Amino acid sequence: MARVQLRNLEKVYGGSVKAVHGINLDIEDGEFMVFVGPSGCAKSTTLRMIAGLEDITGGEVIIGDQRVNDLPPGKRSIAMVFQNYALYPHMKVRGNLAFGLKIAGKSKPEIETAIADVARILEIEPLLDRLPKQLSGGQAQRVALGRALIKKPSVFLFDEPLSNLDAKLRASMRVRITELHRRLKGEGLSSTVIYVTHDQTEAMTMGDRICVMQAGRIMQVATPKELYNHPANLFVAGFIGSPEMNLLEGNLQGGHFVIGSQRLTLGDEVLSRLSTQPRDAVLGIRPQHLALDPSGLKARLTNAEFMGHEVYLHAELEGQKIIAVVGTAEFEQLGRTETIGLKPSAEHINIFDKADGSNVSLHRHRLAA
């Protein structure tokens, strides 16, 4: 079993600087969990505590049924893939793959069989007799992945493994890693993955669930769809999504959201979801969930970015910036105009309490789930 549990996990540097603030998280056997957040949010520090590469100040790390706080990395049944590949430069690919198995005392036939299996899965057979300096970035990353895979660990740990690759290689490696995870899971092999990235595209396309972190705290743990549609707070709303969610400050007055001199009727669909109705609030709506409509909120168009099949409309609404994503044909029908009407999709409106940043329109969603 490869379930990973974090219990009140803390990290303090120098006796006073707290980097990780007592986080709790359950990662299920076979799950692909992604840690995402801005630089300095302690996602890599948390991963390194799970790996045994960073001392734990407080709390527990449990892998399977075993508390591993005091175990060295080699005893934790984990394998880690680093950002810089960490291949032995003097060893050929074959030697890099074999090294860990030799240390573990495996026989030569066992090692050769394991190398052949991993090389076939990752399509690196032609690379086995090359040195690391003879590999491209994508090839080196596949070898690093192979060196982790060959150990057959209970848990795979990835620390921003694709950040050194160009955009095209990152996209292909994302697919390769997720396909590999599904394949291992389909064959009944333990394949729990904890993957650290600052790239929300990687997080949204790879993770079964995503743990969003900020300043050593967990902001939300949810599926990509839940994070996108129902962020738990203003931080997650602003961090997840591209372009990011529009966050419009205003206040609730009965069944209306008031922004400056304009009033948006929320309707029963939105009001029925509210757990509370704070007066000072923030309305969140994705750019993709705004429609061009003359009856909508009036905004002044300031710029239009042509993106191929869609156009990003940048506008100003009562002194606040707002972005709408519309189809190219819709944009062409606008003609020459400075003022546009934008109508939010009622089912995609989120309301946040301005004081504490919490999403007060999640309550009914969670009860119905």
Report pLDDT digits (tens) over 281-325.
999 999 999 999 999 999 999 999 999 889 999 999 999 999 999
Q: Which residue, of 181, 202, 229, is where some domain finishes?
A: 229
Instruction: Give the pLDDT score at 325.
Output: 96
Same domain membership, residue 23 and residue 165: yes
Instruction: Give the pLDDT score at 188.
Output: 66
Is 240 within the bounds of a domain? no
> What CATH number should be reported for the domain holding residue 287?
2.40.50.140
Q: What is the number of structural domains in the chain? A: 2
Q: Please name every residue paired with 159 in a beta bridge, in sequence order, or none if there are none.
A: 196
Same domain membership, residue 126 and residue 14: yes
* Start-to-end Cα distance in the chain: 28
Phi/psi class of residue 241: alpha, beta or left (left: φ > 0; alpha: ψ in -120 to 50)?
left
Supply the pTM of this predicted model: 0.90
> What CATH number should be reported for the domain holding residue 30?
3.40.50.300
Is 93 within the bounds of a domain? yes
Is 239 within the bounds of a domain? no
Is 238 within the bounds of a domain? no
Same domain membership, residue 349 and residue 209: no
Same domain membership, residue 298 and residue 208: no
Q: Which residue, of 197, 229, 261, is where some domain finishes?
A: 229
Same domain membership, residue 327 and residue 278: yes
Instruction: Give the pLDDT score at 365.
Output: 46
Is 234 within the bounds of a domain? no
Same domain membership, residue 256 and residue 137: no
Contact between 202 and 210 (Cβ < 8 Å): no
- In this prediction, the residues of the chain whose per-residue pLDDT falls under 70 are 1, 188-190, 363-369
Same domain membership, residue 274 and residue 204: no
Q: Which token pair is 5?
A: 């549990």
Task: Determine the Cα–Cα distance for residues 159 and 355; give it in Å rounded to an integer.
Answer: 35
Same domain membership, residue 264 and residue 127: no
Same domain membership, residue 219 and residue 255: no
Instruction: Give the pLDDT score at 368.
Output: 39
Q: Which residue, of 177, 203, 229, is where some domain finishes?
A: 229
For tokens 């929300």, the residue is 200
Instruction: Give the pLDDT score at 336.
Output: 78
Same domain membership, residue 273 and residue 193: no
The CA-based diameter of the chain, rounded to the nearest angstrom, is 77
Percent of residues, the chain, with pLDDT higher than 90: 66
The CA distances from residue 23 to 221, 246, 340, in Å, are 12, 29, 45
Is 235 within the bounds of a domain? no
User: From the DSSP assignment, how many helices (H) and strands (E) are in the chain?
Assistant: 11, 19
Which residue range is the domain that position 172 belongs to?
A: 4-229
Same domain membership, residue 182 and residue 35: yes
Q: What is the pLDDT of residues 211-270, one digit of tens each?
A: 999 999 999 999 999 999 999 999 999 999 989 999 999 999 988 999 999 999 998 888
Same domain membership, residue 307 and residue 218: no
Q: 309: burial class by Cβ within 10 Å (0-12, 13-18, 19+)?
A: exposed
